[in-house]
Structure 1
Amino acid sequence: MLDSAPDSSAGLIEPLDLAPLRKGLLDGLRFTVKDNIDLAGYRTSYGSPAWRDAHPAPVHNALCVDQLLGAGARCVGKVVADEFTYSLDGESFYFGTPRNAKAPDRVPGGSSSGSAASVGNGLADFSLCTDAGGSVRVPASLCGLWGMRPSLHRISEAGVLPFQPSVSTVGVLADRFEVLDAAMRVLLSAAATSTPVPRRIFVLQDALEIADAAVQDQVSSALDRIADNTGVVLEWVRFSEIVGAQYALNACNLEGLRDLQTAEFQSTVGNWIEVCKPELGFTFSQAYGNVRTFDRIAALDNIARCERFFTQINAFFAPDTVVCFPTTPKIAPVRGSLNTLEAVMDFYDPTMTITAFSGVARLPEISAPLLTVDGCPVGLSFVAGHYRDEFLLNAVRELVC
């Protein structure tokens, strides 16, 4: 581990004070930056000291950072990312486990663990981070924060370290919806145009069924409140009905997205690891063993299936339609408890079954901190069609704010 550990309580690697470049929509707001996103003059670790030490400091900020500074926000820190951002639990071998403010004995979720901790513990109003398999949405759910994964490639990834380009996006975690909305509109370069009101809300039944019973109860209560407050009649839909074929929801992950992600990770990070042979943290090294032995050619059919799922799922979405489901099927695991393969799979398999839905369909998704189970937060997610980000922001404001 590092000789001098950072402040893991708020996920901080390095405190900063980067002043706004000009006034704008984000005046007075503070933000942090996940350490896979470039800040000029500061080495980017990608969650790995070996990567940090092998690469020079960037000359320029990532473009998304300049967008925020140019809208009046102040950058107050660089924060922890899980190793190579290849994790959903938030426990870093090198940088420690950032504190989950709402459930301090539990993991914050990853890989945007430092982003969640910096916002949840009051260091920042929002954090700029990334999401591929759920790295914005899972910490949002487990830490009781607002989080948004936008449509794939709606936000510039220039200056964001390579990961899984067909899946990964820049996103935001925030302490309030108003902050999330403002930051996302800056990053989306969203014009102030009117969008349809949400008239149809579908509940993704498969996702609800794999959730723990206590999570199901909380989701049902929240949906009843939304229906009562808005007058919108809830409709139920299965994944097989959305894609028009007899697939279970876990096909998004097991028969599609997982193979695409693994193949791309081999090419973006795996090549560097194989050539440079850096020190790897224990947990990552276990996961990377599967990457190293992955058969790319055997996976080509599943990679092609991702494109079919994208087309079929988005054909389901009308302009006024929202689909909702629990962001994660469980509350956050206790810190240090993911120390056996059984415990890891019990957390990852159902979680990835849910998060892969938006990933494979490239959908915008907002996790809203609406649920509490055994004193721990769980998010309720809302998704809209690909490139319907502004509609989704407006829909969530109408439905739950």
Structure 2
Amino acid sequence: MPNPAPDPSKGLIEQLDLAPLRKGPLDGLEFTVKDNIDLAGCRTSYGSPAWRDAQPAAVHNALCVDQLLGAGARCVGKVVADEFTYSLDGESVHFGTPRNAKAPDRVPGGSSSGSAASVGNGLADFSLCTDAGGSIRVPASLCGLWGMRPSLHRISEAGVLPFQPSVSTVGVLADRFDVLDAAMRALLNGPASPTPSPRRILVLQDALEIADSVVQDQVGCALDRIAENTGVAVEPVRFSEIVGAQRELEACNLEGLRDLQTAEFQSTVGNWIEACKPELGFTFSMAYGNVRKFDRAAALDNIARCERFFRQINAFFAADTVICFPTTPKIAPLKGSLNTLEAVMDFYDPTMTITAFSGVARLPEISAPLLTVEGCPVGLSFAAGHYQDEFLLNAVRELVG
């Protein structure tokens, strides 16, 4: 049975001790579970006390949890998720803001804020969490952790609360690459056959130009080191070259993914909010105001555009190629600083322009903790083609692991 022991500094909602189901490749490792993923005997909060109190306790673990227990890992707790996982900043009015271990005066990033805090503050070796618009990658970047969003639907989402099914994935945050690699392989159930070595690193120039100049400088230094150490060619590429049209990267977000995400959120969570009228946090209420006003019919063309972007981007990928870009365009904002619409947009708009690239193309992406800017961590991301997850893990190991 769960033993409630809230500890916002480590993102903990419930302390648990779920023993491994058997021995396996994750023997000796401990993990936490984001609180939008079911654990048997626990109510899943979805980052909202109102949701938690309206739901029965889960009878079964989410299948992805059992995969990790079956690979030898031990589950030690449930951790904070941002309200309805609809946030990238990690500040929770309901459960407290988890501590960013590498930058304690700054936000941890969301919506997997508790996952990042539980790993960064030493509670667990890795955390099982989810990503739609950047909810694994952004906390990984801002907290100096390894994070992987896999290809869409590579991992079972049975027992994961419905969010944005055309975008949402289950993935992992970890303190070391070898832990990330082992946990992801246990979830992917992929082939053990060899994959090609990476021969080209394409730097997504549009994403680089969106980033703050100090982040751009650190990306350049990191790629110079990788090229020198590995001999792998580093080449620039623009979004317009990838999709074969005069389009900017922000089209992925503004003319594609944003409308798809909003329409699906209306259907999965919005219906419940409208029916049950729960108490909502201030920040979420502002965001949900846009969801409530959203015109589904007007967005249909943009939703169709997502499918075209998916096909165009993946047709561009070669089997030995990774695309690289800063995971986030800037360091973590100071806690409490996202208190005006201008501040929120200054953080969200450029961040989601970058995170939408892998989201709309359903790509596997790994954020590596390789950059330090003004004393704060920033991730450097590597992405590969859809369903090239094992190649990406092997490539990152060869390049920087």
Match of 1:231 in 2: 231
Match of residue 290 from structure 2: 290
String of CA shifts for 1:208-261, please: whole Å, max 9, x gaps. Answer: 001001000000000000000111111110001100011110000000000000
Work out whether 1:105 is the aligned partner of 2:105. yes
Is 2:267 the partner of 1:267?
Answer: yes
Alignment correspondent of 1:137:
137
Equivalent pair of 2:26/2:72 in contact (CA under 8 Å): yes
The equivalent residue for 2:341 is: 341
Mapped partners of 2:214, 2:270: distance in 1: 39
SS of match in other structure, 1:299: helix
Which residue identity is paired with 1:311? R
Deviation for aligned residue 1:6 = 2.6
- Look up the match of 2:221: 221
Q: Confirm whether residue 85 of structure 1 aligns to residue 116 of structure 2.
A: no
Separation in structure 2 between the aligned mates of residue 377 and residue 235 of structure 1, nearest angstrom:
24
Matched, 1:153 2:135: no
Q: What is residue 166 of structure 1 aligned with on the other side?
A: 166
- The answer on whether the counterparts of 2:366 and 2:381 sit within 8 Å (CA) in structure 1 is yes
Q: Which amino acid counterpart does residue 50 of structure 2 have in structure 1?
A: A
Cα distance in 2 for partners of 1:8, 1:375 equals 24
Q: Which runs of 5+ in 1 are unaligned?
A: none
SS of aligned partner of 2:186: helix
Alpha-carbon distance, 1:192 to partner: 1.5
In 2, are the aligned partners of 1:5 and 1:96 still within 8 Å (CA)?
Answer: no
Rounded Cα–Cα distance in structure 2 between residues aligned with 1:186 and 1:233: 31
Match of 1:37 in 2: 37
Contact 1:112 1:139 in 2 (8 A): yes
Secondary structure of 2:122's partner?
A: coil
Partner Cα distance (2:318, 2:177) in 1: 24
Within 1, Cα distance between the matches of 2:144 and 2:190?
Answer: 26
Structure 1 residue 191, shift from structure 2 partner: 2.6
SS class of match (1:59): coil
Separation of aligned partners in 1, 2:234 and 2:364: 20
TM-score (norm 2): 0.99
What residue is the counterpart of 1:7 in the other structure?
7
Number of residues of Structure 1 aligned to a counterpart in Structure 2: 398
Q: Distance in 1 between matches of 2:286 and 2:338?
A: 13
Counterparts of 1:146 and 1:82 in 2: how far apart (Å)? 20
The residue matched to 1:343 in structure 2 has which SS? helix
Per-residue CA deviations over 1:258-293 (Å, capped at 9, x if unaligned) read 000000000000000001111111110110000000
TM-score (norm 1): 0.99
For each residue in 1:12-62, what CA deviation from the matched residue of structure 2 results, as whole angstroms up to 9, or x when unmatched? 001000000000000000000000000000000000000000010110000
Contact 1:110 1:136 in 2 (8 A): yes
Q: Residue 77 of structure 1: SS of its match in structure 2?
A: strand
The correspondence of residues 2-401 of structure 1 with structure 2, limited to 5 A, is 6-401=6-401
CA distance in 2, matches of 1:335, 1:97: 9
Identity of aligned pairs, percent? 89
Matched residue SS, 1:6: strand
Provide the secondary structure at the position in 1 that maps to 2:87. coil
CA RMSD, Structure 1 to Structure 2 (Å): 0.8
The 1-side partners of 2:329 and 2:129 are apart by 22
